[in-house]
Amino acid sequence: MILKSITLINFQCYFGEVTFEFKEGLNLVIGDNGAGKSKLYDAFYWVLYDRVFDSMTREFQLTAHKDIRKNLVSDKAKAHCAPGESVKTSVEIVVLNPQKGDEYILTRTYSVARTESGTWREPTESVQSALFKDKYLDARPVPQVDIESIRRRILPDDVKPYMWFQGEQVDSLIDFKRNDTLTRAINVLSDISEFDFYEEVSKKAYETAEKDFLRKGRQMSSNASKNDELASKLERLRSELERLEEERILAANNLTKAREQKEDLLGKLEDAQRIKDLSSKSSEFKARLKETDERQNKMKAAINKNLFTRNWILKGTGFLVDAYAAKYDEYTRTRMKKEAGQEAQKQAMDEILKSFRLPVDVPEPIFIQQMLEKERCLVCDREAQKGTEAYNKIQELLERSKSHKQKVKPEPITKNDFSNEFKSLYQNGLQLQGSINQVDHEIKITVGEILELETKYKEIKNELEINEKEIMDIVDVSQISTIESSISIVIEFRSHDNAIIQYEKDLQRVEIKKEERASEINTTEEELRSLAIGKVPKSLEEKVQVLADFSAIAKSTRARVFNRLIEKLEEEANKHYFNMTAENKSVRGRIKLEKDLLGNYMPKNFDSAGLPLSSINDSNIILIKLAVIMAIISAKRSSPAAQLYPLISDAPTSKFGDNYAIGFCRTASEVYSQSIVISKDFYNNSDLQNRLFDEVGEKLGSVYVIEPSLSAEEQREHRDELEVRVTKIK
């Protein structure tokens, strides 16, 4: 089957009608993240299965799911739809059967209607239709009842997982933890089941022949009762052997499971320890983050506090101090002038006083008073009658003393004296001038410190995010949800360890018993034969022998075919593995399919010395899985899958780098007759595109580039203007 084209009308982000045409070989649809790649994959899926991928549940959901039907029709198409009208989305694929030249045209449509009030009526069902067109006739509708069989013809359900997959599904397609995964895949994609049938038939034929042989033997026995006893013993022993085989399978199963679980937990154990270490690192980061945040908040809060406590409010007010100083200077000068006038007066008075011979208060006022009363100078003992010059001179001595006393208390020079207050204001200003000069520097330092803390905060937050992401990545892969669960993992791990020891003992015991029973069966058979008095017909004996051989051949043939398939599978897987990793030499080891106790095979990675590689990374595991998926298809050329069905893969190499994208596409072009790879690896990378075109050469089909009409940011704001632009570059 060749997928000739897919046409999308108003499907999700694809506005209007968009058609992709494909050819045999490798077809590429290239687009960046958010360009509509997964929506294209959804379109393939929806037209066949009525389902699209729901990013919330991470599963493919039916159209009926409310989150799906709400987003199925392009927002832009809905924006163009007037109230009372309806808008339709549809996807159509044209599939060609190259052998017959017939075509199937499969279409799915879904319509929503806008009510007068502007709300949307979204039915729960889509409508599927199909047309069949043979080489010579026009297309004719296929009855609804037959559509399902057409769908299965286009892509059988059991083949689907290996032909249509997304990068993130590869992990679950080949589940390394389920031993029968590979066996199941081989059963689906090969004719090995025919050999199972031969094995079963030959076994049954042998058992019937043997029963006939024993019945004849009994008839010819010398001791019928002994014969019966031995026959019944033989039957019992055989049924016991069968039971023991069942027991062996059970023990082997248990042992395998316990080993798987132990291995599973071993990985988890390491992961749990890693999660624990990372979590404690996260706690440290959180504590540092909290501390930095608190310090930052404290400093920010201090900014406004500092307006008053550190006088930042006075920023740039130094000029006011200078202006007041000037005013105060003028004030003091004027005041000093007044004071100087008063001083001059005082000095003049002092000059007058200096004209006296005697110092002030000599003689003391009481003696002067006595002299005035006695009208006689007691210093020179001369008469000084009242009214005379001598009397007046004595009296002046008294007044001079009084006037001197008055001078000690100077007269105020102004009515109000605010000088001390004006001075205190001046001194306060001068004192604050120091702070004012420091304000700019202090602010610069503080803001610098805050910015430093902000940077530190961002750095710690970034480290925390990286750490948390690492935890989430491990959690995603390991399915360990909490640190606490790691404790139960350790306990579980120990219990599996004990169980393994027990199952190994059981297996050993059962196998010994089986050997004993087999030997007993041989002895009993011999005893039975010794009881025969005549000869059992040769033909009967030969029949048993031939059917026993036939049964053994069928069994060994089946095993040989299966082993050959496994060998081929291993060889093919390695071929693809090397092909895909050719550009990256740092990989890789060699894939080996190892047989377990139950006969199932598991892919393992070994180095050149044949030792298992213990430290293979996620990319390697996925590459091994992709290689095995391709090997399943390519190993058995008789499998119709590679020839009949196209590979459709969305972001198959999303989990690893550019170097692998070329390898994957080249390998896909060699394995599948048609592949449609949807990828971002080649977007805006013409070097890589040219390399691919060169390497794939003639096997290159169509190449499209898809780009959204709006940037991611614009999409958030104007979702109803979004459409996808499709450019065919080859």
Partner 1 sequence: MEFIKRFEDRAPVYAKMYHESIIDRFSLVGGRDEDLKQKTGRYFSNIYEIYTYSALLGIKNNYRIPLEGLITKDFNKIRYWQPNELVRFVFMALLTKSDLNLNLVEEMEEKDVEREITKLKNLLEEYTNGGFDIIYSKIKETPYFFENEYCFLELLELPLNDFGSKKECF
Residues that bind partner 1 (CB under 8 A): 297-298, 300-301, 303-305, 307-308, 311-317, 320-321, 323-324, 327-328, 330-331, 334-335, 414-419, 421-422, 424-426, 428-429, 431-432, 443, 447
Instruction: Name 648's Cβ contacts closer than 8 Å, sequence gap at least 6.
Output: 3, 41, 44, 163, 164, 675, 676, 678
Closer residue to partner 1 (CB): 317 or 584? 317
Closer residue to partner 1 (CB): 302 or 483? 302
How far is it, in rounded angstroms, from Cα 590 to Cα 596?
19
- Which region, left, alpha or beta, applies to residue 651 given φ > 0 means left and ψ of -120 to 50 means alpha? left
Closer residue to partner 1 (CB): 340 or 447? 447
Closer residue to partner 1 (CB): 258 or 450? 450
Instruction: Kindly state the smallest distance separating residue 304's Cβ from partner 1, in Å.
Output: 4
How far is it, in rounded angstroms, from Cα 6 to Cα 105?
10
Closer residue to partner 1 (CB): 213 or 422? 422
Please name the amino acid found at residue 302.
A
How far is it, in rounded angstroms, from Cα 564 to Cα 569?
8
Closer residue to partner 1 (CB): 113 or 325? 325
Beta bridge partners of 54: 59
Closer residue to partner 1 (CB): 301 or 546? 301
How far is it, in rounded angstroms, from Cα 127 to Cα 106?
11
Please name the amino acid found at residue 279.
S
Instruction: Name 674's Cβ contacts closer than 8 Å, sequence gap at least 6.
Output: 2, 3, 22, 23, 24, 25, 27, 646, 647, 701
Instruction: Kindly state the smallest distance separating residue 289's Cβ from partner 1, in Å.
Output: 17
Closer residue to partner 1 (CB): 334 or 690? 334
Instruction: Name 283's Cβ contacts closer than 8 Å, sequence gap at least 6.
Output: none
Q: How far apart are the first and last CA of the chain?
A: 22
Instruction: Kindly state the smallest distance separating residue 330's Cβ from partner 1, in Å.
Output: 8
Closer residue to partner 1 (CB): 429 or 663? 429
Instruction: Kindly state the smallest distance separating residue 94's Cβ from partner 1, in Å.
Output: 57
Of 461, 107, 99, which Cα lies nearest the Cα of 289?
Answer: 461
Instruction: Kindly state the smallest distance separating residue 300's Cβ from partner 1, in Å.
Output: 4
How far is it, in rounded angstroms, from Cα 491 to Cα 311?
65
Instruction: Kindly state the smallest distance separating residue 462's Cβ from partner 1, in Å.
Output: 22
Residue 486 host element (H or E): helix 483-531
Cα separations in angstroms, 669 against 392, 695, 706:
145, 10, 21
3-state SS, 117-160, equals CCCEECCCCCEEEEEEECCCCCCEECCHHHHHHHHHHHCCCCCH
Beta bridge partners of 197: none
Closer residue to partner 1 (CB): 419 or 502? 419
Task: Judge residue 581's burial from the number of C-beta atoms within 10 Å of its C-beta, 0-12 exposed, 13-18 middle, 19 or more buried.
Answer: buried
CB-CB contact of 77 with 15 (8 Å): yes
- Report the relative pairing of strands 647-650 and 674-679 from DSSP bridges: parallel
CB-CB contact of 321 with 429 (8 Å): yes
Instruction: Kindly state the smallest distance separating residue 306's Cβ from partner 1, in Å.
Output: 9
Angle CA 525–530–534, to nearest 5: 115
Closer residue to partner 1 (CB): 177 or 338? 338
Residues in the chain: 730
Instruction: Kindly state the smallest distance separating residue 408's Cβ from partner 1, in Å.
Output: 23
Closer residue to partner 1 (CB): 328 or 578? 328
Instruction: Kindly state the smallest distance separating residue 41's Cβ from partner 1, in Å.
Output: 44
Instruction: Kindly state the smallest distance separating residue 439's Cβ from partner 1, in Å.
Output: 9
Beta bridge partners of 703: 28
CB-CB contact of 623 with 605 (8 Å): no
Instruction: Kindly state the smallest distance separating residue 452's Cβ from partner 1, in Å.
Output: 15
Closer residue to partner 1 (CB): 173 or 432? 432
Query: Residue 168: how many CB atoms within 10 A of its CB?
Result: 15
Of 603, 716, 596, which Cα lies nearest the Cα of 254?
Answer: 596
How far is it, in rounded angstroms, from Cα 389 to Cα 159?
152
Instruction: Kindly state the smallest distance separating residue 394's Cβ from partner 1, in Å.
Output: 42
Closer residue to partner 1 (CB): 204 or 298? 298
DSSP 8-state assignment for residue 40: H
Instruction: Kindly state the smallest distance separating residue 417's Cβ from partner 1, in Å.
Output: 7
Instruction: Kindly state the smallest distance separating residue 305's Cβ from partner 1, in Å.
Output: 8
